[in-house]
Amino acid sequence: MSTKLNWEGIYPAVLTPFTKEGEIDFEMFAKNTEAQIKAGVHGIILAGTLGEASVLETEEKFELLKYAKKITAGRIPVILNLAENTTKSAISYAKKAKELGADGLMLLPPMRYKADNYEVTEYFKSVASATDLPILIYNNPVDYGIYVTLEMFEELVACPTIQAVKESTRDLANVTRMINRFDNRIKILGGVDTICLETLMLGADGLVAGLVDAFPNETMAMYNHVKSGNYDKAVAIYRWFMPLLELDIHPKLIQYIKLAAAAEGISNPYVRAPRLELQGEEAGRINKIITDGIINRPVLD
């Protein structure tokens, strides 16, 4: 069963919990997913950066998709991240995702090869024309080295399946540029936790969030206050949240956010090599940020 996507609201880029032996911990994945649904999220995105896509086998991603569809049972949309090296592989992946029940795709530019604007646009268009699944373009030049420009989006809007952007340029003005150029044709989901409130208040339709993996209730409360116009309450939560949100903009964001979610009882701290668990001063410092956040968490209304 496919669940309709409107690309509005909070979409956790969910973690992939592992056992100590390095296998996917499906039971913990279900526990975290239930916590997200209970808090009111609007969908989940599997096998993204936070989902450790780079260390998952393709078949493991599909197993996660099948399991997520089973446990969500149509309550929220399930979106699968697509990060491939070749156009042929990307098209095959998109077709398999559809077959297994994905409700949408998050689509990165081609991996490894730093394609130019024409090549990236053709890659996106080729995948978009090969599937009827709705697509979220991931625009993250900071981490992936490719900037999807407004001129490139001018071409992409001809593809009906390309419906939204994960806006991770870290340039807040780009939210306004996108709205001015495309109005509501391309939905905007903020993709950087440390500017998530500003992004929403500038008119973004929602967020692809990271720390929501550990703190779904606080994330949803902040979002709902913005939607209701209770900006003072949203800002108060955001100020409490900021030291935790800053864990999202570090190369070790996966280790950091897994630690936070583990402290909340909804993940494990384990990662797959070459990532390693934190040690020494770093472990103490990050755990203190998490502990302080939990101790001082706001009372939600």
Q: How confident is the model over 171-197, as pLDDT tens digits?
A: 999 999 999 999 999 999 999 999 999
- pLDDT of 255: 98
The span from the first CA to the last CA of the chain, in angstroms, equals 34
Helices 26-39/216-228 angle, 10° precision: 20
Residues 272 and 6: their CA atoms lie apart, in Å, by 34
Portion of the chain with pLDDT greater than 90, in percent: 96
Bridge partners (DSSP) of residue 107 are: 82, 137
With 60 as the cut, is the pLDDT of residue 1 above it? no
Confidence of residue 3 (pLDDT cuts 50, 70, 90): confident
Average pLDDT over residues 2-12: 91
User: With bands split at pLDDT 50, 70 and 90, how would you rate the model's confidence at 112?
Assistant: confident
Quote the CA–CA distance of 89 and 51 in Å, as a whole number.
20
What integer pLDDT is reported at residue 197 of this predicted model? 98
The predicted-structure confidence for 54-97, as pLDDT tens digits, reads as follows 999 999 999 999 999 999 999 999 999 999 999 999 999 999 99
Q: How many alpha carbons lie under 13 Å from residue 178 in its C-beta half-sphere?
A: 31
Model confidence band, residue 2 (pLDDT cutoffs 50, 70, 90): low
Q: How far apart are CA 59 and CA 272, in angstroms?
A: 16
* 3-class state of residue 189 by DSSP: strand
| Total-model pTM | 0.97
Residue extents of the structural domains in the chain: 9-295
Helix/strand/coil for 40: coil
Helix (H, G, I), strand (E, B) or coil at 34: helix
In tens, the pLDDT along 190-224 reads 999 999 999 999 999 999 999 999 999 999 999 99
Residue 43, pLDDT > 70, answer yes
Over residues 120-158, the pLDDT tens digits come to 999 999 999 999 999 999 999 998 899 999 999 999 999
Number of residues that this document lists for the chain: 301
User: Is residue 301 scored above 90 in pLDDT?
Assistant: no
The number of angstroms, rounded, from the C-alpha of 288 to the middle of its chain's C-alpha atoms is: 25
Question: 294: pLDDT confidence band, cut at 50, 70 and 90?
Answer: very high
Q: Which CATH class for the 9-295 domain?
A: alpha beta
Cα–Cα dist 269/65, whole Å:
22
Question: Which amino acid type is present at position 110?
Answer: P
**CB of 112 closer than 8 Å to CB of 85:** yes
- pLDDT recorded at residue 9: 98
Give how far Cα 168 sits from Cα of 137, 138, 174, 189, 263, Å: 10, 7, 10, 9, 27
